[in-house]
Chain A
Amino acid sequence: RKEVEQDPGPFNVPEGATVAFNCTYSNSASQSFFWYRQDCRKEPKLLMSVYSSGNEDGRFTAQLNRASQYISLLIRDSKLSDSATYLCAVLASGGSYIPTFGRGTSLIVHP
């Protein structure tokens, strides 16, 4: 089993739709979680960190489910500009500074 897994997609949704992605991780000791956005031929950019209590930033909501070992990203009212690849990253505890990245989920928002 891969350490961090994501459905590669693509998720093809119309503008205004709500879409959610999951990212599963295998290391139960994982402590830090992140979502990155990567546009085509660009570097990944931090979208948001994922806290135990979940967090929300505008149309984006990230949640952590420790029992089932996954994090999720919910995008409401999708915009054309949301089209990108969304990468999750997971850091283990114990002073690790090397995250494990998923391979990303591709989102295409169409008119």
Chain B
Amino acid sequence: SQTIHQWPATLVQPVGSPLSLECTVEGTSNPNLYWYRQAAGRGLQLLFYSVGIGQISSEVPQNLSASRPQDRQFILSSKKLLLSDSGFYLCAWSMRGRTDTQYFGPGTRLTVL
């Protein structure tokens, strides 16, 4: 069966510090991968998605970036965090080439102080 991992689970970072969040998927190949952010009391905001290694599409221009160095690894980064980057970051996967269900990882709760 497929599983999706995210780490760290919780992170507290000062403004201006860098960020690296990692997501890995097991039990499937060639998944579509997604990064979402959910601010407190808000809906899911799609940040990036990827249909393959090195292929990243950005939905919202901001100080975040994403990379997919391996088929089942998706990384979210920032060089300098802003207060507004605080939120719940969720990685998700779906079957490649199918308009199918998304499955979410456990998320990383980021607080920028």
**Which A positions have Cβ atoms within 8 angstroms of B?**
31-32, 34, 41-46, 49, 87, 89, 91, 93, 95-99, 101-104
* Residue numbers in A under 8 Å from B104 (CB-CB): 43-45
| B contact residues, total (Cβ < 8 Å) | 23
Q: Does B86 contact A (CB under 8 A)?
A: no
Q: Does B99 contact A (CB under 8 A)?
A: yes
| CB contacts between A and B, total, < 8 Å | 47
* Residue numbers in B under 8 Å from A43 (CB-CB): 90, 104-107
Q: Are A32 and B46 in contact (CB under 8 A)?
A: no
**Which B positions have Cβ atoms within 8 angstroms of A?**
32, 34, 42-44, 46, 49, 51, 88, 90, 94, 97-107, 109
Of B43, B88, B102, the residue contacting A99 (CB under 8 A) is B102
Q: Are B99 and A91 in contact (CB under 8 A)?
A: yes
Complex CA distance for A96 and B34, rounded to whole angstroms: 13
Complex CA distance for A45 and B90, rounded to whole angstroms: 12
- Rounded to whole Å, the gap between the CB of A53 and the closest CB of chain B is 18
* Residue numbers in B under 8 Å from A101 (CB-CB): 43-44
Q: Are A34 and B99 in contact (CB under 8 A)?
A: no
Of B43, B98, B101, the residue contacting A103 (CB under 8 A) is B43
* Residue numbers in A under 8 Å from B98 (CB-CB): 97
Question: Given A43-B90, A43-B105, are A98 and B46 neighbors across the interface (CB < 8 Å)?
Answer: yes
Q: Which residue of A lies closest to B104 (CB)?
A: A43
- Rounded to whole Å, the gap between the CB of B30 and the closest CB of chain A is 12
